[in-house]
Amino acid sequence: MRSPAHRCRDIERQAGYLQPDQCVPPPPRGTADGMWFIQDGCGIVCGVITWLLVFYAEFVVLFVMLVPSKSLVYSIINGVLFNALAFLALASHFRAMLTDPGAVPKGNATKEFIESLQLKPGQVVYKCPKCCSIKPDRAHHCSVCKRCIRKMDHHCPWVNNCVGEENQKYFVLFTNG
Protein backbone atom coordinates (compact mmCIF):
# COMPACT_ATOMS: atom_id res chain seq x y z
CA MET A 1 0.00 0.00 0.00
CA ARG A 2 1.29 3.43 -0.88
CA SER A 3 1.88 6.05 1.76
CA PRO A 4 0.20 9.48 1.72
CA ALA A 5 3.57 10.97 0.75
CA HIS A 6 3.51 8.94 -2.49
CA ARG A 7 0.02 10.19 -3.24
CA CYS A 8 1.09 13.78 -2.66
CA ARG A 9 4.05 13.37 -5.01
CA ASP A 10 1.84 11.75 -7.66
CA ILE A 11 -0.53 14.68 -7.48
CA GLU A 12 2.31 17.19 -7.73
CA ARG A 13 3.69 15.38 -10.81
CA GLN A 14 0.41 15.60 -12.68
CA ALA A 15 0.56 18.76 -14.72
CA GLY A 16 -2.64 20.74 -14.55
CA TYR A 17 -4.06 18.73 -11.66
CA LEU A 18 -6.52 21.36 -10.53
CA GLN A 19 -6.95 23.47 -13.63
CA PRO A 20 -10.44 24.96 -13.96
CA ASP A 21 -10.51 24.47 -17.73
CA GLN A 22 -10.38 20.67 -17.23
CA CYS A 23 -13.52 20.67 -15.11
CA VAL A 24 -17.04 21.22 -16.27
CA PRO A 25 -19.00 23.34 -13.79
CA PRO A 26 -21.80 21.51 -11.99
CA PRO A 27 -25.20 21.70 -13.68
CA PRO A 28 -27.74 24.01 -12.06
CA ARG A 29 -30.05 22.22 -9.67
CA GLY A 30 -33.56 21.68 -10.94
CA THR A 31 -36.83 22.30 -9.17
CA ALA A 32 -36.98 18.72 -7.90
CA ASP A 33 -33.99 18.99 -5.55
CA GLY A 34 -35.00 15.97 -3.46
CA MET A 35 -35.61 13.67 -6.44
CA TRP A 36 -32.86 11.36 -7.64
CA PHE A 37 -33.33 8.93 -10.51
CA ILE A 38 -30.77 6.96 -12.52
CA GLN A 39 -31.75 6.44 -16.15
CA ASP A 40 -30.25 2.97 -16.54
CA GLY A 41 -32.33 0.54 -18.61
CA CYS A 42 -31.21 -2.58 -16.75
CA GLY A 43 -31.83 -0.93 -13.37
CA ILE A 44 -35.30 0.25 -14.39
CA VAL A 45 -36.21 -3.28 -15.55
CA CYS A 46 -34.89 -4.76 -12.27
CA GLY A 47 -36.88 -2.20 -10.26
CA VAL A 48 -40.08 -3.03 -12.15
CA ILE A 49 -39.44 -6.77 -11.67
CA THR A 50 -39.04 -6.16 -7.93
CA TRP A 51 -42.43 -4.46 -7.74
CA LEU A 52 -44.06 -7.19 -9.87
CA LEU A 53 -42.66 -9.89 -7.57
CA VAL A 54 -44.10 -8.16 -4.51
CA PHE A 55 -47.50 -7.81 -6.21
CA TYR A 56 -47.37 -11.47 -7.26
CA ALA A 57 -46.62 -12.46 -3.66
CA GLU A 58 -49.62 -10.32 -2.59
CA PHE A 59 -51.86 -12.17 -5.02
CA VAL A 60 -50.62 -15.62 -3.95
CA VAL A 61 -50.91 -14.94 -0.23
CA LEU A 62 -54.33 -13.31 -0.43
CA PHE A 63 -56.13 -15.37 -3.06
CA VAL A 64 -54.37 -18.73 -2.90
CA MET A 65 -53.59 -19.05 0.81
CA LEU A 66 -55.91 -16.82 2.83
CA VAL A 67 -59.22 -16.69 0.94
CA PRO A 68 -59.65 -20.50 0.82
CA SER A 69 -58.76 -20.74 4.53
CA LYS A 70 -61.48 -22.05 6.82
CA SER A 71 -60.62 -19.65 9.66
CA LEU A 72 -61.84 -16.09 9.06
CA VAL A 73 -59.87 -14.66 12.00
CA TYR A 74 -56.66 -16.32 10.78
CA SER A 75 -57.20 -14.92 7.27
CA ILE A 76 -57.88 -11.38 8.47
CA ILE A 77 -54.92 -11.20 10.87
CA ASN A 78 -52.44 -12.68 8.39
CA GLY A 79 -53.83 -10.63 5.51
CA VAL A 80 -53.45 -7.36 7.43
CA LEU A 81 -49.93 -8.26 8.62
CA PHE A 82 -48.77 -9.35 5.17
CA ASN A 83 -50.23 -6.25 3.49
CA ALA A 84 -48.57 -3.98 6.07
CA LEU A 85 -45.17 -5.65 5.55
CA ALA A 86 -45.54 -5.57 1.76
CA PHE A 87 -46.42 -1.87 1.91
CA LEU A 88 -43.38 -1.13 4.11
CA ALA A 89 -41.11 -3.11 1.76
CA LEU A 90 -42.39 -1.20 -1.29
CA ALA A 91 -42.13 2.15 0.52
CA SER A 92 -38.52 1.37 1.53
CA HIS A 93 -37.72 0.27 -2.03
CA PHE A 94 -39.23 3.47 -3.40
CA ARG A 95 -37.20 5.63 -0.98
CA ALA A 96 -33.97 3.69 -1.66
CA MET A 97 -34.55 4.13 -5.39
CA LEU A 98 -35.34 7.86 -5.37
CA THR A 99 -33.09 9.16 -2.58
CA ASP A 100 -29.75 10.76 -3.43
CA PRO A 101 -27.20 8.25 -2.11
CA GLY A 102 -24.76 11.00 -1.13
CA ALA A 103 -23.42 12.17 -4.47
CA VAL A 104 -20.45 14.52 -4.47
CA PRO A 105 -21.14 17.60 -6.66
CA LYS A 106 -19.65 17.21 -10.15
CA GLY A 107 -16.98 19.59 -11.36
CA ASN A 108 -16.14 21.21 -8.02
CA ALA A 109 -12.37 20.61 -8.32
CA THR A 110 -11.54 24.09 -9.56
CA LYS A 111 -8.68 26.24 -8.29
CA GLU A 112 -11.12 28.77 -6.84
CA PHE A 113 -12.95 26.09 -4.86
CA ILE A 114 -9.70 24.54 -3.60
CA GLU A 115 -8.48 27.95 -2.42
CA SER A 116 -11.79 28.54 -0.62
CA LEU A 117 -11.27 25.34 1.42
CA GLN A 118 -8.40 26.98 3.35
CA LEU A 119 -6.31 23.82 3.51
CA LYS A 120 -3.50 23.42 6.00
CA PRO A 121 0.06 23.12 4.64
CA GLY A 122 0.71 19.54 3.56
CA GLN A 123 -2.97 18.61 3.48
CA VAL A 124 -3.83 16.60 0.37
CA VAL A 125 -7.03 16.90 -1.65
CA TYR A 126 -7.98 14.05 -3.96
CA LYS A 127 -9.75 14.59 -7.25
CA CYS A 128 -11.74 12.01 -9.17
CA PRO A 129 -10.40 11.97 -12.73
CA LYS A 130 -13.72 10.72 -14.12
CA CYS A 131 -16.20 13.26 -12.75
CA CYS A 132 -13.76 16.05 -11.86
CA SER A 133 -14.93 16.38 -8.28
CA ILE A 134 -13.09 16.55 -4.99
CA LYS A 135 -13.36 13.15 -3.33
CA PRO A 136 -14.04 13.14 0.40
CA ASP A 137 -12.78 10.22 2.49
CA ARG A 138 -14.54 6.90 1.71
CA ALA A 139 -16.06 8.24 -1.51
CA HIS A 140 -15.94 6.07 -4.61
CA HIS A 141 -16.84 6.64 -8.24
CA CYS A 142 -19.78 4.65 -9.62
CA SER A 143 -19.52 3.85 -13.32
CA VAL A 144 -23.31 3.44 -13.64
CA CYS A 145 -24.32 6.68 -11.88
CA LYS A 146 -21.24 8.48 -13.26
CA ARG A 147 -20.77 10.23 -9.91
CA CYS A 148 -18.65 9.92 -6.79
CA ILE A 149 -20.77 8.66 -3.88
CA ARG A 150 -19.94 9.25 -0.20
CA LYS A 151 -19.62 5.99 1.78
CA MET A 152 -20.60 3.97 -1.27
CA ASP A 153 -21.39 0.33 -0.56
CA HIS A 154 -22.36 -0.86 -4.05
CA HIS A 155 -24.56 -0.07 -7.02
CA CYS A 156 -27.70 -2.18 -6.72
CA PRO A 157 -29.63 -2.81 -9.94
CA TRP A 158 -32.70 -3.93 -7.94
CA VAL A 159 -33.14 -0.42 -6.54
CA ASN A 160 -31.55 1.21 -9.63
CA ASN A 161 -29.31 3.29 -7.41
CA CYS A 162 -26.08 3.26 -5.46
CA VAL A 163 -26.28 2.35 -1.81
CA GLY A 164 -24.47 5.15 -0.02
CA GLU A 165 -24.47 7.41 2.99
CA GLU A 166 -27.94 8.90 2.49
CA ASN A 167 -30.04 5.90 1.40
CA GLN A 168 -28.43 2.96 3.18
CA LYS A 169 -31.15 2.99 5.87
CA TYR A 170 -33.90 2.53 3.26
CA PHE A 171 -31.94 -0.20 1.48
CA VAL A 172 -31.47 -2.17 4.71
CA LEU A 173 -35.17 -1.75 5.55
CA PHE A 174 -36.09 -3.00 2.07
CA THR A 175 -33.81 -6.05 2.20
CA ASN A 176 -35.03 -6.99 5.68
CA GLY A 177 -38.69 -6.36 4.84
Residues with a catalytic annotation lie at 156
Q: How many CB atoms lie within 10 A of CB 158?
A: 17
What is the b/e burial string over 105-128, where b = at least 16 CB atoms within 10 angstroms of the residue's CB?
bbbbbbeebbeeeeeeeeeeeebb
CA angle 158, 160, 162 (to 5 degrees): 105
**Distance between CA atoms of 130 and 107, rounded to whole angstroms?**
10
Q: Decide the pairing of beta strands 147-150 and 139-142.
A: antiparallel
| Burial (0-12, 13-18, 19+ Cβ within 10 Å), 149 | buried
**Distance between CA atoms of 33 and 35, rounded to whole angstroms?**
6
